[in-house]
Structure 1
Amino acid sequence: MRPTTAWQAMAQRPLSFLTSSWPWRSLAYLTGGVVVGAAAVLVFAAGLAAGLALLVVLIGVAPLVGLVLASTVVASVERRRLRLVDLDHLPDPHGRPDAPGPKSWVATRLKEPVTWRELLFTLVSAAALWWLDLLVLGFSFGLPAVTFASLDGETWPWTVFGALVLLASPYTVTSWAGARAAMARTFLAPRDRELGAELREVRASQSRLLDSFDAERVRIERDLHDGAQQRLVSLGLTLAMLRLDTPEGTPQSELLTQAEGQLSSAHQELRALIRGLNPPVLADHGLVAAVEDYAGRFPIPVTVDLRLPERLPRKLETTMYYVINEAMTNIARHSGATTAAVRGRYHADLLIFDITDDGRGGVDPGAGSGVTGLADRVRALDGRMRVSSPVGGPTLLHVEVPCRFA
């Protein structure tokens, strides 16, 4: 699968990463960060000085307001620059002014929470981020240049060190670019309350659809248990009564033996289906126990490492179980893997799951694979799912879902 972020790109095989455009995109992102940050410092310093100097006569309010609005320009530029190292589109959360004209535009912007987050991001960027960009670039390229320029018989160890730093620069630059982009997305991504009414309704309908799927699954499980399974039990009793009147060794007895074997297989398959639809261990003991139980019956060895502080909310627990269940089913059917692993952690109101296997890789969600359905389930919980699956493997499915315990 084609990576969509700088960090995903680094997870590829070294040769694939080094020959890709991601190191160059990361270099362009950090270089642009230095330019934008330095310009922001100059503009803010000049505006702040003018505003404070004129504040005594109340004229200084205008430059200070101008600085707040200038931060929206910096944020807009940053959203465009993010496409260099994060291909996921980051929408502009600003709303349209209620009326035409600059006065309405300014009033609307000053009322929006995102404007003040953008101001905070601009201050952080001007005070620290662009300095860090410059430091990373200086260490990755400036230090090797200095050691090469001073090459002589006595300083050759430093030259070797500079060469090693230069060789590692694609990873140094890309790792910081990925971290910087993640920080920028935290500041600049729209919050739910800033989304339009139509988009909020879409998310609400996704949640209702997920609830209806869960309710339908429980109904089907109940109908199979109380209906089809009971009929199979009754059929088994009928065959047992018929065997009492059938002599051993006759053709009819052999047919009864075959029918009983087929009935037993159908009963086992139905029980497995019912257990998969609504596993009792999930309802009784939670996600960790349910995943461990499923892994114990998996056709290949699975390492389960789930560390959660407590039981998850019911809808989240059920959804994540079926995401993990389906991901592992795909591994068994299509990957050719010999081992797999499920790892889960809870950190800072975020559930993080990694499902890996050592199979042949080459998973492409864009080709209509089962991964698409998993991503839809995760998005219905306001989560994100990423897949790294280079041809030849390994495959990593990374899921992040918001979660707050009461």
Structure 2
Amino acid sequence: MACTRPADISSWEDAVRRAALLTFGILLTVGVAPLAAAPLAALERRRLRVLAPAPTEPGDPEPRPGAVRLRARYTTARAWREVAAGYLVAVAGPGLVLLAATWVVLCSVWLAAPLVVARSSGGPVALGIGHARSVPDALPYCAAGLAAGILGIVVLTTLVRAQAALSRTLVEPRPDPLATRLVEVTRSRSRLADGFAAERRRIERDLHDGAQQQLLGLTLQLGLARMDLPADSPAGQAVARAHDQAKTLMADLRELIRGIHPQVLTDRGLGAALYELAEFCPLPVHTDIDLPHRPPQAVETAAYFAAAEALANALRHSAADTIRLTARVRHGRLTVDVEDDGRGGARLADGTGLTGLADRVAVVDGTIRVSSPPGGPTLVRVTIPCPPHSREDDR
């Protein structure tokens, strides 16, 4: 029976110890490094903003807290790029500091070589890569120290910039083609919506200042002619019919202009426009409007037409007796509620005007929520971001 020698046992113990250390290092890297890399990457981004003039964007948006966020630290490319950046900083940072300290000490010794030699007792003075016995012997070291100092500044600056560029490549978020495309589509949609709103305002002004004024003049002239003609004469009856038709057309044109873009919305703001909207509604509308400041023009327009569409839907489909219209700004968000006591059952997916309403408010990053159980009541809530705003911004 063979006996195991102590040397063999010792070698096996060393191998097991090395394997355990290697396994521990791998587990430490894989298990802890992704978690520790996030704050280190944030610190590195701050440092890069100080060192480099190029703007450093914040990291990619983190998923919501919890298991999803924890899993993302181990499964996303961003997390492992931050791990690589952490190792780069851990190696390059102390290395650059040590190199800079060594260079400073060496250059200081060489620059001070003549003074050190002059104060020596006459023996050779060690200067790092040589000896000097007299001041003339030390002068070349002084010149070399000056040149090395200038060269060191250039070299260290280059190394720091290279390390910063590599770190920026690792910690900066990578451009996502889909995200870039989405941003461009969102901006394009916003520009189209702004252009559409501006065109509506132009049409409203043209109708108000042009066709409406001419029709008003025609109505007045027909009214004067009606007063001058006998009421029972054929001409008087014809003028009376034309006058009535002109007044009806005038009312229709005013309603059309109000539907395109009400002048009160431009002149007096969303609150006054909502009050006017409630006043012209055939059903009783109870209003509760609290707007301490005028929202941005795009927000006002979207909120007004959303409220108008919700009121129109209530009139057409709900068989309601009363409607409640509420508008208020809280915590940077404008909320408009249209609630009726009708039969309920409204849904966004039914293809009614609510779908168009949702599309309209989405242009200004708004949302719509519909609560309409069978039997009612129906609540349409429109929520739109509404930061503090000055009307000067719209000019």
* Highest RCO, 1 vs 2 (Cα 8 Å, sep ≥ 6): 1
Matched, 1:64 2:24: no
Give the AA of the match of 2:80.
V
Q: How does 1:193-204 map to 2 (within 5 A)?
A: 196-204=179-187
Change (3 A) 1:106 1:243: same
Q: Distance in 1 between matches of 2:346 and 2:291?
A: 28
* TM-score between the two structures when normalised by the length of structure 1: 0.54
Compared with structure 1, are the counterparts of its residues 196 and 297 closer, same or farther at alpha carbon in structure 2 (3 Å cutoff)? same
Is 1:377 matched up with 2:345? no
Determine which of 316, 322, 326 is the counterpart of 1:339: 322
In the alignment, what sits opposite 1:360? 343
Distance 1:372 1:69 in 2: 45
Report deviation, 1:309.
2.8
Q: What's 2:300 paired with?
A: 317
Contact kept? 2:33, 2:83, Cα under 8 Å: no
For 1:165-212, what per-residue CA distance to the aligned partner results, in whole angstroms no more than 9, with x for missing partners? xxxxxxxxxxxxxxxxxxxxxxxxxxxx99701111221122112212
Residue 250 (structure 2) pairs with residue 267 (structure 1): yes
* Aligned residues of 2:323 and 2:338 also touching (Cα < 8 A): yes
Q: What is the CA–CA distance in structure 1 between the aligned matches of 2:260 and 2:225, rounded to whole Å? A: 33
Which residue is 2:237 aligned to?
A: 254
Question: Residues of 1 paired with 2:64 and 2:258: CA distance?
Answer: 54
Aligned to 2:32, what secondary structure does the other structure show? helix
Question: Which protein is bigger by CA-based radius of gyration?
Answer: 2
Within 2, Cα distance between the matches of 1:95 and 1:325?
Answer: 48
Contact 2:338 2:379 in 1 (8 A): yes
Match of 1:388 in 2: 371
**Partner Cα distance (1:397, 1:109) in 2:** 48
Separation of aligned partners in 2, 1:247 and 1:64: 100
Query: In the TM superposition, what is the alpha-carbon distance from 1:351 to its structure 2 partner?
Result: 2.1
Rate the CA distance shift 1:249–1:109 in 2: closer, same or farther, 3 A: farther
Is 1:106 aligned with 2:80? yes
- Alpha-carbon deviation of 1:374? 0.7
Distance 1:293 1:241, change over 3 A: closer
How far apart, CA to CA, are the structure 1 residues paired with 2:344 and 2:323? 13
SS at structure 1 position matched to 2:379: strand
Deviations 1:10-41 (A, max 9, x none): xxxxxxxxxxxxxxxxxxxxxxxxxxxxxxxx
When normalised by structure 2's length, the TM-score is: 0.55
Q: Identity over aligned residues, as a percent?
A: 42
Instruction: Find the aligned partners of 1:357 and 1:388 in 2 and give their Cα distance.
Output: 11
CA distance in 2 between partners of 1:73 and 1:276 (Å): 43
Distance (Å, rounded) in 2 between the aligned partners of 1:106 and 1:211: 42
Give the CA deviation at 1:372: 0.6
How big is each residue's C-alpha offset from its partner over 1:254-273, in whole Å with a ceiling of 9 and x where there is no partner?
12211111111111221232
Gaps of 5+ in 1: 1-53, 80-91, 98-103, 112-192
CA distance in 1 between counterparts of 2:204 and 2:63 reads 55
Report what 1:22 is aligned to: none
The separation in 2 between residues aligned to 1:277 and 1:239, in whole angstroms, is: 28
Number of residue equivalences: 251
> Aligned equivalents of 2:231 and 2:248: distance in 1?
23
Write out per-residue CA displacement over residues 210-266 of structure 1, whole angstroms, 9 at most, x where no aligned residue: 212211111111221233213323433553565477444122321221111111111
Structure 2: how far apart are the matches of 1:349 and 1:244?
57
Deviations 1:346-397 (A, max 9, x none): 2332222222111111212212110011101111111211111122211111
Q: Secondary structure at the match of 2:328?
A: strand
Tell me the equivalent position of 1:401.
Answer: 384
RMSD: 3.8
Please give the alpha-carbon distance, in whole angstroms, between the structure 2 residues aligned to 1:227 and 1:95: 64
Match of 1:42 in 2: none
Code of the aligned partner of 1:214: A
1:134-173, aligned counterparts within 5 Å? none
- TM-aligned CA distance change 1:243 to 1:293, over 3 Å: closer
Residues 365 and 74 of structure 1, relative CA distance in 2, 3 Å threshold: closer
